[in-house]
Amino acid sequence: MNAAPFTWTVAEQFGWMARRHPRSTALVDEAGEQSYEQLFRRVEALAGHLGAVVGSGRVGIYVSNRREWAETFLAGQLAGIGVVPVNERYQGQEIRHIIEDAGIELLVSDRAAHRGDVLAELRGDVDVLPVGPDYERALDGSATAARRPPNVESSVLYTSGTTALPKGVRLTQANQALGTWLGPSILLGLTAADTVLITTPLAHRVGQVRLLGGILTGCRTVLCADARPGTFVDAVRRYRATVTGMVPTIARDIAMSGTVGDRLASLRVFSVTGEAMSAELRETVARMLPDTDLWTFFASTETGLATALPPSEFIRRPTSSGRSLPGVEIAVLGPTGAAEPVGEGQILVRSGPPGSFAVGGGYIGHAAGAAFVDADGWFHTGDIGRIDEDGWLAVTGRSKDMILSGGFNIAAQEVEGVLRRHPAVRDAAVTGEPDERFGERVVAWIVTEPAYGPGITADELRDFTASQVASFKKPRVVHFVTDLPRTATGKVAKWRLSGTGSPS
């Protein structure tokens, strides 16, 4: 299949929307409201600053869900500079890798939301523009730069793979076009009458789909940095939100909180995606939102939206993630190594040449040499699924050494590398196990170093891990074992680990 590439850009559509709805509310956060005209003026000023201070590199965004995140992202589009969102929960080691790998020259950071020592450690590696007085001075209009040609690259998103280092996925303007129009505009039917509430981290591809889907269709878009049930419910009621979405873990917390009542009655559309969702949870969400259209999707950082399950099938097909979207093909890797339209195996996604439609434009940095798609143009997702004769996809597992917890991909090898750096750890293996709330939880299997005098506790290992990487990657369960089972080639036989050792 050869899908025709889009020529649309974020900058063009944003400018058009600002001219069409200058006085309508574009963004809302804790600082108040911004009209489309106000937002465009600030973005244009910041674009001038970025064009003056960023050379051939990229700009990073290490900011929570607030207006400065949206302004920086859009300013990069106007300036023709690729932007690199950084998960706000990442720590110094993770951020430093992304800065070096992506060639980030300037990092916009929300100091109020991040530990000061993390930023202090980074100042020798990259210029930091902190949100606050320095950021506002950058918008004073004194910095002007010639507008660069439209940039085919829109952003670079980092996703955990099966190696210790996250890989940067290059998204093009065509990728953003499809994410904005096919999802929010066509499927969900967003219009200027809608209010979109975003609690999803904006560093995720789905967060950007929701942000651009709101701003570029004329909606009022509300940014919320707190997804706790009470805060979410209050935000829906306060802003009369009509469209929102989240991962199943958060949806479960909200449904079980007992604080909902009729306070979500304004919601017209509610999407749940990011990890597997049980039939029981679907029924619970449906009872919570009886008059709301419920959607779920199969998507990833590399593929974007691949399938959609409409409201009419949300309960009727409790294991399904939907059928492929227009312009997107799905298949499974058959036993002969060929793509099969029906059957069970690793899920494959194809959507024209990489970067032309839904599937991203490829890897950058250290992973640039890795094959992004196979010889036939299929992206191998690493997820295992089943496609029936009518094209309905059910995701049944993952083939990658990956743990999906609370909507976050966690590479087991990355956590293992951190644990092995502790002087009390001789060897470590990391696996996942089912968790009622998060879908999966991180489990560590530890062989201790006898020569380490003080010994080590599970809590100390958790604290050590959280000091090195994002806290959601720390092991929730720790098993101390005398040895790790291995295959004939010396690899850890992780399938033999369950049931051994004593948990802590």
In the predicted structure, residue 4 carries a pLDDT above the cut 90: no
Residue 126's region, left for phi above 0, alpha for psi from -120 to 50, else beta, is: beta
CATH of the domain spanning 10-393: 3.40.50.12780
Q: Domain map of the chain by residue range?
A: 10-393, 402-503
Measured CA to CA, the distance from residue 58 to residue 482 in angstroms comes to 47
Q: What is the pLDDT of residue 141?
A: 67
What tokens were used for 67? 């207006």
Q: Does the domain formed by 402-503 have CATH 3.30.300.30?
A: yes
Average pLDDT over residues 405-419: 84
In the predicted structure, residue 499 carries a pLDDT above the cut 70: no
Q: Are strands 304-309 and 25-29 parallel, antiparallel or unpaired?
A: unpaired
Measured CA to CA, the distance from residue 282 to residue 319 in angstroms comes to 10
Residue 16's region, left for phi above 0, alpha for psi from -120 to 50, else beta, is: alpha
Closest CA to 175 of 206, 197, 196, 147: 206
Q: What is the pLDDT of residue 208?
A: 93
Cα radius of gyration (the chain):
23
Measured CA to CA, the distance from residue 414 to residue 349 in angstroms comes to 26
Count H helices and E strands in the chain, helices first: 13, 27
Q: What is the pLDDT of residue 41?
A: 95
Give the CA count within 13 Å in the CB-facing half-sphere of 407: 22
Percent of the chain exceeding pLDDT 70 equals 90
Torsion angle defined by CA atoms of residues 473, 474, 478 and 481, in that order, rounded to the nearest 10 degrees: 70
Rounded to the nearest 10 degrees, what angle do helices 279-288 and 248-256 cross at?
50
pLDDT in tens, 194-238: 999 999 899 989 999 999 999 999 999 999 988 888 899 999 999
Q: What is the pLDDT of residue 113?
A: 47
Element (H or E) spanning 34, and its range? strand 32-35
Fold match flag (10-393 vs 402-503): no
In the predicted structure, residue 146 carries a pLDDT above the cut 60: no
Rounded to the nearest 10 degrees, what angle do helices 205-215 and 173-180 cross at?
70
Minimum mean pLDDT range among 173-177, 252-256, 499-503: 499-503
Q: How confident is the model at residue 336 (pLDDT cuts 50, 70, 90)?
A: confident
Strands (E) located in 249-318: 269-272, 293-300, 304-309
